[in-house]
Structure 1
């Protein structure tokens, strides 16, 4: 897209919205210029099926990387974790996402919600936390891909060959993301089918070898930090797809349905190989490390399935990276449309209409982080994500109280006491996960939080001095609607 076309899919600024009559909150999404409408008609909007698989890869992408729950707690705790955790965490997060994403659809996603609830500083800090957690999270996937490939080609397990493999993987996958969101969505569908099919074969061949008593065992030396961090990492990020809401066809109808379908698919993807592997094998729990599902397939079925699972892991890592990169890149575009970042970040490719500046920024950060250990990556991403989720939950509750008449196409059917109870357990778990973090994660997360806070004030300085160009269309819309509100009152 040419630089003069700016997609404005964000609601008006909080400062303007706060002064408007409450009845206007129901229709306070920004008006779009004729050029923008033409662009949106010409572009390919995401439909239900591609969105389902994008959400699936935002959250899960298959069972790869979940093996450490068995190592940390044994089969029983691992199974209970993937059965119970969705009810105390995933479902509440998905419900919050569905309500807010349909009420305030736009590429800013959770940034819009925090800005609307608490003001621009909160919106900016939310954007920093979520973007950095997403960039850190996506860094795990090229590394995980390299780990699986190294099982077949040991020479790339360390040193310069590993660095070259991770770098080449990141560059190639980032270019694929550049080719368009629709391409990424349909690619995700194919990657899901190819990566999950070997686990259906594994489950079928494991049936004669299952012993129910094996599912009831618990590890003697339990590592709760590893257990909960791994569980949390494999079942969070349900709200990440909200940053793509401006690219979705009929988001008010499509988004809730896609969340439900992706949730069911995710549960099957985790429980099927977990039940098969732990029920059919007696192996030391210490062997259940990242990549062990390939060995499980080899021991139960044969080496041919082991190699198939390894290929599936590589395909899954591709889908995970693509989905995460898409949400991060469009988040930066949404923040630029809101005026939190310079207008430069809202530039789109002329050929594919993708936010190429956001893609490059996210890719470089992910590449730099990808050479850390997987456990450090997971812990840091979880901590920053937890901070953002606590703010997101607070925004959800406050908007219910502050703007009860805001039009919510999907509405969580609970009153305020019920909503508080629904959010209480996830909030407690978020605090618990943060408390388990090591000193290294505290230092990293604290430093990045200070960076995010300083970034907001630096951007405000740049606006006031005119150092950089920022989008002001959202503020102008707010001023227009405020004047309309005053006229209606008169």
Structure 2
């Protein structure tokens, strides 16, 4: 097989970005934001603009370091050194494991529409979740191209129902449903800030194409294009979908909807549409779980190659897959799934999800901070004014996101990151001693 056929191309890389960004949660956001009024649409716009600057930073750095596998980890390590890079890798791995558990729970919830037993039996729900996790674990050990093809298929299948509602709904809009513009009781700025904080997590995953850069064909061209193209596709789906749902369903009704996209689809296409929207939610969760599982092998692999993680994470199977990180991730996700369906451990699982919020945002902040440093190391002479503005805006947006995650997430997330310091000291000692 030619080398180019063993790597991810533009569309599979783009599907990795879109697929990781668009999870099952987006199907519920219109209902969560309904109490704010149509001003919530500005929250989407604000998040999209901020995410563009972060995406631009990732795109530019993938040109400066085209073969740097690990994305945010590689960028941070090259800019700020080993310790900062280690913190990013550690936090990202733990956060993604928690996120994968949440995605699996969303998948089970969506499947309960077709298999009601999943909503009434904890044993059935856990069994279904474990089957999904380990099926995708197996698929991801078959090679990056195999998991990339699955990602492309699931991305198309998940975006299709969203687009059908987003575009079809434009013909059913009622202007009165967009009023009042701001029903939150907050100032315009306060309402936009609140809704932007709610939507910002829908843009987590913009870095997805940068993480497996070593497995991407012509990464200096493909990764930047995939990153920006993926952001554009996701943004259009998010905003058009929200406009259609909010314009079809009155806000008073929308606030109490458990299936806003399905409710809108019923108005547009009839009662049977509820089932293919539920299928879309399940596919969205399945595709996102596949994409993030792929990430869980690539970042520990890059970190281990730099001798900042145990060497076992750098092992590859016959297909060239760094399987140890994938397997460990799946074990952790399986444990988290059990915690969620064990009544005595539900709160602990929710606490872990809270911690994961900060750990997903720290890589963005440190990557933005590294941008100008890496640019200076590359001896680039021109374009510094625009680069400085880009770096400052991206850093400021990431910092604002961290502040918006709440005091509790920041406090305990910081403690979680600091808990890794003894481990880093041990790894650094072994590295410096040549062991």
TM-score normalised per structure 1: 0.77
Aligned to 1:256: 224
Correspondence 1:73 to 2:15: no
Alignment of 1:344-423 (within 5 A): 344-350=312-318, 352-370=319-337, 371=340, 379-405=354-380, 414-416=383-385, 418-423=386-391
Pick closer, same or farther for the CA change 1:66–1:425 going to 2, 3 Å: farther
TM-score normalised per structure 2: 0.86
Alignment of 1:38-437 (within 5 A): 41=3, 44-61=6-23, 63-71=26-34, 73-74=36-37, 76-87=38-49, 89-104=50-65, 105-157=67-119, 159-203=122-166, 205-217=168-180, 218-220=182-184, 227-282=195-250, 283-289=252-258, 291-350=259-318, 352-370=319-337, 371=340, 379-405=354-380, 414-416=383-385, 418-437=386-405
Query: How many angstroms does 1:57 deviate by?
Result: 1.3
User: Larger Rg: 1 or 2?
Assistant: 1
1: distance between equivalents of 2:321 and 2:197? 33
- Count of aligned residue pairs for this structure pair: 418
Query: How many angstroms does 1:110 deviate by?
Result: 2.2
Query: How many angstroms does 1:401 deviate by?
Result: 3.3
2: distance between equivalents of 1:108 and 1:200? 32
Pick closer, same or farther for the CA change 1:240–1:42 going to 2, 3 Å: closer
1: distance between equivalents of 2:400 and 2:365? 12
Q: Does the CA-based 8 Å contact 1:111-1:127 persist in structure 2?
A: yes
Query: How many angstroms does 1:53 deviate by?
Result: 0.6
Q: Aligned to 1:157, what secondary structure does the other structure show?
A: helix
Q: Does the CA-based 8 Å contact 2:371-2:391 persist in structure 1?
A: no
Q: Aligned to 1:287, what secondary structure does the other structure show?
A: coil
Q: Does the CA-based 8 Å contact 1:57-1:319 persist in structure 2?
A: yes
Unmatched 5+ stretches in structure 1 = 1-38, 407-412, 470-490
Aligned to 2:343: none
Query: How many angstroms does 1:449 deviate by?
Result: 0.5
CA RMSD of aligned residues (A): 2.9
2: distance between equivalents of 1:376 and 1:216? 36
Q: Aligned to 1:340, what secondary structure does the other structure show?
A: coil
Query: How many angstroms does 1:299 deviate by?
Result: 4.4
Q: Aligned to 2:29, what secondary structure does the other structure show?
A: coil
2: distance between equivalents of 1:92 and 1:247? 25
In the TM superposition, what whole-angstrom CA distance separates every residue of 1:365-402 from its partner, at most 9, and x where no partner exists? 23333425897666433311222222111111222234
Q: Does the CA-based 8 Å contact 1:107-1:242 persist in structure 2?
A: yes
Query: How many angstroms does 1:330 deviate by?
Result: 0.5
Deviates more, 1:442-451 or 1:235-244: 442-451
In the TM superposition, what whole-angstrom CA distance separates every residue of 1:424-480 from its partner, at most 9, and x where no partner exists? 3443343333334455534541232023322211212344567xx6xxxxxxxxxxx
